[in-house]
Amino acid sequence: MFHREAGVFKTSYASDMALYPLPIAKWTVAVLALLFVVIIPLTMQEYYLSILNLIFIAIVGALGLNILVGYTGQISIGHGAFMSVGAYTAANLAVRLGLPFWITLPAGGLMAALIGVIVGIPSLRIKGLYLAIATLAGQLIIEWTINHVTAISGGAQASIQVDRPTLFGFTFNTQGRLYYFLLFFTALAIIATLNIVRSRLGRAFIAVRDQDIAAEIIGIDIFRYKLLSFAISSFYAGVCGVLYTYYFGIANYEAFQLVVSIDFLAMIIIGGLGSVLGSILGAIFVTLLPIVLRLVLMDVGKLFLDEGELANIISGTRLAVFGALIIFFLIVEPEGLNRLWRNIRSYFRVWPFSY
Amino acid sequence: MVRFVKSGLAAAVATAALAFGSGGAFAQSKEVVFGFQCDRTGPTALVGTVLCPGYHDYIDLVNSKGGVEGFKIKVIEVDNEYKVPPAMEAHERFKKEGAVLEGLYGTPQTAALNKKLEEDKMLGTSPGFGTADAADGKKYPYTFPIAATYWSQAGAALEFVKEKLGTLKGKKIAYIFYDNPAGKEPLPILEAIAKQEGFELRTFAVPAPGVEMGAQVLDITSRFKPDFVVAHLFGRSPSVAIKEFKGKGFPLSKVISFVWGSSEADIIAAGGYGVAQGYNTLQFAGVGKDFPVLKDIVAMYKAQGKPAPKEMDSTVYYNRGVMTAALHVEALRNAIKANGGKAPTSEQVKDGMEHVKGFTLDGLVPPMTITPADHEGGGWCEVYTVKGNALVKAKDWYQGYRSIIEKQLASTASKS
């Protein structure tokens, strides 16, 4: 962030693709790790940690969706349903078999990946809006199935309570403890995504996105990579669903309905399609902005109105401002917050000169 | 790349910390904080925009009369938009501001917060939301439905039907419901009563979003030809149901609706009172403006030189807000008294809620008795029928098939 090489000194592909372009970057990461592992959890109140926790979970889901939509160019509006697949798989395993989270979490992800591949099959023949509708069907079919098959949903209420995750007798039962639980998996998800997108896999995804026929001609197996993209994306969604399940202590499909899929699409579009940082910024933006807006509107509104009137006005205003800000950011930079950030960086890199 | 990622996060956290820095003031000594979740912009905004002002108005009324035992109440409202993550954020914010109780809003939100309420020892109320087994105070010690659950409503609906038809033996009852967990929840109760009374029960599911039910209604009116219809629908679908039954020539006086299909808004959306004549509605709070407390609220507005809020005209939802607020205040009053006039803790307010008894607000609140074992307060309902241009009371506070509901509660309690 604060350091750049003075020119282009790379002499090999390996150095060009390195996660750390400069040795000093390792120190930056170390400092940030210290900030997130030690300083933030020790100094922040539970309330702020709870917001960070929600952001962490959203980041995992957004990263997954960005692999599919941003990197591979396949639209999906079934992301919420894949989360519920992960959530119910983990909840059933945890409650019926008493398995710990380090088994249920990957299991939830794998089950979601399997279902994701099935829902992704139409992507082999159709694209764009057609695929969007096909995945929408997937979302509705999964919702219906969970609602009606009591073997999955655990009864008429379609919700399964799970205990807090434990590790070696340590229970993650407060926001502060769940913070570490979620931080670990979010960091893992970020690192995994960074590595996926700079490997052969990621390049193949990008080739499919940019022009699938050309990709096929240069030897990329479209069948395999499209379905693989659905599998990986759904795996993330499943893990995201499992994290929600452990965070709330319940698997409930009503928390993963169509509107959730749309929310996650909004995150990656605002953040920036096809970028890891974009997914993270988008998840932060969509989770945090409504909260910040409410607090700001509350404080500003108090100057003009009494509280009863304020409550009437604030909710609507907040939605309007939220929508307006999304439009504003997308007009300023259609490629999302990630691009905006890059523009700012490259501006200051040569400042005060224009180039 | 990692460094950009992490630094972006850090920047956002720093901004957030700055933005929130100003909001951390502590409550003053003679002030008690209530948290209240609401939905003014989500799918149930029709309810929230009326119910929540009712809640605030009652609290304002109490404050304007000097508060509860000398304590003023400060309400922090958070709009959760009927989404689950904001509900968790709201709960943590209430906790941070030192709230002694919170009003929950929404079934998935209640489900997601049950565990957290227990861990944080915070009392949460979910009138009309959440699951029926939350009535069991031993199973969910910190969740209080404080109003008839769907199980109790099922019992009450059939009790009313029995009264209307004379007997249920050999009759045909249709149950038309929104195809979600809440819609399916009353099924075991209906089936148990059908078995006991010996009537034929047939169920008709309406898929989400519930605005298309021509086939189901035709099936009911032309093929099944029931003696009575019990409807359990949400959102836009109750008004569609009224229109469909009317259109097929089925008498609406043979339809009884659960509590979320029973408001003035549903009747107006169906085409007005003229269309809905005879339609029976279950209620868990009193309906109409003829209550002293509502007149006090109007007087309070008048004293401030303002007209009464227009939300008061939608009495079904408004009164439910008033009822929720009144029970919160009553719990607080009990807690302060028990604590010798000092500010109570959340735990003490929970005890206060468990001692609410004989508090009816002149009929707006049912004669419920909340106990540590029964957080529902007995599952009382009223029936109001559309007559002329109003909802007219057809049956005063009563409980239906209580023994069957208690048996069901006991059997779910033993299961887990």
Average pLDDT, chain B: 87
Give the per-residue pLDDT at B302. Answer: 92
Helix then strand then coil, in percent of chain A rounded to 5, is: 75, 5, 20
pTM: 0.87
Among A53, A199, A252, A348, the residue to mutate for chain B (most B Cβ within 10 A): A252
Q: State the complex-level ipTM.
A: 0.85
Q: What is the pLDDT of residue B222?
A: 92
For residue A316, the chain B residues in CB contact (below 8 A) are 40-41
Query: A254 vs B16: CB contact, 8 Å cut-off?
Result: no
Task: Tell me the pLDDT band of B1, cut-offs 50, 70 and 90.
Answer: very low
Cα–Cα distance measured from residue B114 to residue B122, given in angstroms and rounded to the nearest whole number: 10
Strands (E), chain A: 159-161, 166-167, 170-171, 250-252
Are B278 and B257 a contacting pair, CB within 8 Å? no
Exposure string of B403-416, with b = 16+ CB inside 10 Å and e = fewer, is ebbeebbeebeeee
Cβ contacts (< 8 Å) between B310 and chain A: which residues?
A: none
Query: Residue B4 CB: number of other CB atoms within 10 A?
Result: 20
Per-residue three-class SS string for B54-112: HHHHHHHHHHHCCCECCEEEEEEEEECCCCHHHHHHHHHHHHHCCEEEEECCCHHHHHH
CA atoms of B101 and B250, how far apart (whole Å): 45
Q: How far is A10 from chain B (nearest CA, A)?
A: 16
Would you say residue A340 has pLDDT above 50? yes
Average per-residue pLDDT in chain A? 87
Quick: pLDDT tens for B107-145. Answer: 889 888 988 898 889 999 999 887 888 888 888 899 999
- Measured between CA atoms, the residue of chain A closest to residue B120 is A174
What is the mean pLDDT of the segment spanning B273-281?
92
pLDDT in tens, A135-145: 999 999 999 99
Q: Between A and B, how many CB-CB pairs are < 8 A? A: 172
Preceding omega of B209 cis (within 30 degrees of 0): yes
pLDDT, position A41? 85
B342 has pLDDT over 90: no
CB A287 within 8 A of CB A260: no
**Identity of the residue in A28, A50, A290 whose CB atom sits nearest the CB atom of B92:** A50
- Please say whether the dihedral angle defined by the alpha carbons of residues B22, A43, A276 and A243, taken in this order, is positive or negative: negative
Residues B124 and B141: their CA atoms lie apart, in Å, by 10
Q: Distance (Å, rounded) from C-alpha B247 to C-alpha A243?
A: 48
Q: Which residue of B has its CA nearest to A289?
A: B16
pLDDT of residue A325: 85
